Amino acid sequence: MTVDDSRLHSIYDLVVRRNPGEDEFHQAVREVLDSLGPVVARHPEYADARVIERICEPERQIIFRVPWVDDSGRVEINRGFRVEFNSALGPYKGGLRFHPSVYLGIVKFLGFEQVFKNALTGMPIGGGKGGSDFDPKGRSDAEVMRFCQSFMTELYRHIGEYTDVPAGDIGVGGREIGYLFGQYKRITNRYESGVLTGKGTGWGGSAVRKEATGYGTAFFVQEMLRERGESLDGKRVVVSGSGNVAIYAVEKVHALGGTVVAVSDSAGYVVDETGVDLELLKQLKEVERARISEYAERRPAASYVAGGSIWDVPCDVALPCATENELDESAARTLVEQGCTVVAEGANMPTTPAGVAVFVDAGVLFAPGKAANAGGVATSALEMQQNASRDSWTHEHAESRLAEIMAGIHARCAEAADDYGRPGDYVLGANVSGFLRVADAMLAMGVV
Ligand code: NDP
Ligand code: 2IT
């Protein structure tokens, strides 16, 4: 893919120069700019107001020390981040990631993606992201709690229900959100429910938030297939990862009649031709925090492959739900050769640009993360709505809102792709539709 418009090309060069060494951020910016050529040609007003240059520059970036004491009494020091990227549409909104690979470039790539994703939901949320290079693996609950308390002891001064509303991402789930909320409440002496989302359903969390990203990805696939007069019924599906997004993608794929035959973690993958046993998967990953190899040990029908690529497993539908750049050109070729016709990104930027090109060339239905995984943040916005009105919806109501929102995102992507002469191009549709909503708000608000 090339950034052919010379103005866009020089913006991209500037981003690379001003953000040295942040490869993932460069990749995310390039992927969006690659879609914007026809938009700037039709709308010179965006270029005149330098909206694209402004969108590529975060409004605020916070980096802080996170000291804490481990169970043996040793002092540990991590680095914390919050990048408040764009607030044209609402308070900054986006998750926190705790993973040893986290550095500023990862947080900026995720924050940048979040701006367009959140716009695409049609809801009043800006974009931001944060996290730390803290590795929760192998840490006790007490260590995770002390880390979260130290992290929030700095973060609290930057967030608020009308300012910036963090949630979960890799390594941050219900347990961590609980510890973070507890510390925020203690420091501020305010029961400000809307300051974090992904809370427990007994204390301000929304029904279906935990399930929302995975469910939403399956709903998006269903919408894409409907256009072809098909459905997930009878489809063979491979889901990478076995965390929050993956587990609930499996659950909804099964409910819609598909069969998930493989899941993974960072050490390897399991193949279960009879269909992944969801209760066992939840027990292992949500309760015991065990490795996926354990799945095969407890289920004779399944086999474990250490290392290797889960994309070697033949399927009709591939749902990458683990992490960025996990599906490269060679994996994409293997998937296409073995008959895969649908790919939807539950994770953020899991497919490399060369991988996306393979899918596009092969006519695969391809849904980018900012459309396919937007159900999580959309349900976070529903959680904010419930908190603001001190209300709490039923599971059925929250799920039907999620399904409507995913259908709306699908329709917006499809309309923008049609409007710009690229029917069926969900990458262009998502980027253009998200961009237009943010850009119009920025134009209306002047140079701020
Ligand atoms: P979890 O921490 O619950 O699970 C992450 C899963 O991905 C685990 O199976 C993990 O394996 C695997 N994984 C993580 N990092 C790597 C890596 N570097 N290489 C290989 N495997 C890896 O996170 P989530 O399920 O919440 O997030 C998964 C993806 O979905 C991320 O891209 C996230 O940004 C995105 N996302 C999440 C949303 C949410 O609501 N949670 C919303 C939208 C997108 P292991 O346990 O071995 O590390
Ligand atoms: O990438 C994402 O959209 C998330 N991790 C969810 C963000 C949120 O605020 O719910």
Q: What is the pLDDT of residues 256-283, one digit of tens each?
A: 999 999 999 999 999 999 999 999 999 9
Residue 394 CB coordination number (10 Å):
10
pLDDT band at residue 2 under the 50/70/90 scheme: very low
Task: Say which ligand is closest to the CA of 102.
Answer: 1
Task: Say which ligand is closest to the CA of 205.
Answer: 2
Question: Pocket residues for ligand 1 (CB within 6 Å)?
Answer: 168-171, 173, 213, 241-246, 265-267, 321-323, 326, 346-348, 373, 376
Q: pLDDT tens digits, residue range 166-221?
A: 999 999 999 999 999 999 999 999 999 999 999 999 999 999 999 999 999 999 99
From atom 3 of ligand 2, which residue's Cα is the shortest distance away?
377
What is the pLDDT, as a whole number, of residue 316?
A: 98
pLDDT band at residue 388 under the 50/70/90 scheme: very high
Q: For residue 277, give the 3-state DSSP assignment.
A: coil
Atom of ligand 2 lying closest to residue 380 CA = 10
- Tell me the CA–centroid distance for residue 140 and ligand 1, in Å: 20
- In this structure, whether the domain defined by 212-372 belongs to CATH 1.10.10.10 is answered with no
DSSP H stretches of helix in 304-373: 329-337, 353-361, 369-372
Domains 60-190 and 212-372 share a fold: yes
Which one is the CATH code of 60-190: 3.40.50.720, 3.30.200.20, 3.40.50.10860, 2.40.110.20?
A: 3.40.50.10860
Q: For residue 272, give the 3-state DSSP assignment.
A: coil
Q: Where are the domains of the chain?
A: 3-55, 60-190, 212-372
Cβ–Cβ under 8 Å, residues 329 and 352: yes
CA–CA gap between residue 340 and residue 356 (Å, rounded)? 13
**Mean pLDDT, to the nearest integer, of 111-119?**
98
**Mean pLDDT, to the nearest integer, of 305-316?**
98
User: Does residue 139 line the site of ligand 2, with CB under 6 A?
Assistant: no
What is the pLDDT, as a whole number, of residue 18?
A: 97
Task: Say which ligand is closest to the CA of 217.
Answer: 1
Q: Is the pLDDT reported for residue 51 higher than 60?
A: yes
Q: pLDDT tens digits, residue range 145-163?
A: 999 999 999 999 999 999 9
The question of whether 129 is a catalytic residue gets the answer: yes
Q: Is the pLDDT reported for residue 1 higher than 80?
A: no
Burial group, residue 266, by CB count within 10 angstroms (0-12, 13-18, 19+): middle
Q: Identify residue 132 by its one-letter amino acid code.
A: S
Q: Is the pLDDT reported for residue 424 higher than 80?
A: yes
Q: Is the pLDDT reported for residue 322 higher than 60?
A: yes
pLDDT band at residue 5 under the 50/70/90 scheme: confident
pLDDT band at residue 4 under the 50/70/90 scheme: low
- Tell me the CA–centroid distance for residue 323 and ligand 1, in Å: 5
Share of the chain above pLDDT 70, in %: 99
pLDDT band at residue 405 under the 50/70/90 scheme: very high
CA–CA gap between residue 206 and residue 390 (Å, rounded)? 11
Cβ–Cβ under 8 Å, residues 374 and 409: yes
Out of 93, 107, 380, 384, mutate this one to test ligand 2's pocket (max ligand atoms within 8 Å of CB): namely 380
**Mean pLDDT, to the nearest integer, of 386-411?**
98
What is the pLDDT, as a whole number, of residue 201?
A: 98
User: What does the H/E/C string look like for 146-191?
Assistant: HHHHHHHHHHHHHCECCCEEEECECCECHHHHHHHHHHHHHHHCCC
Q: Is the pLDDT reported for residue 422 higher than 70?
A: yes
CA–CA gap between residue 140 and residue 146 (Å, rounded)? 10
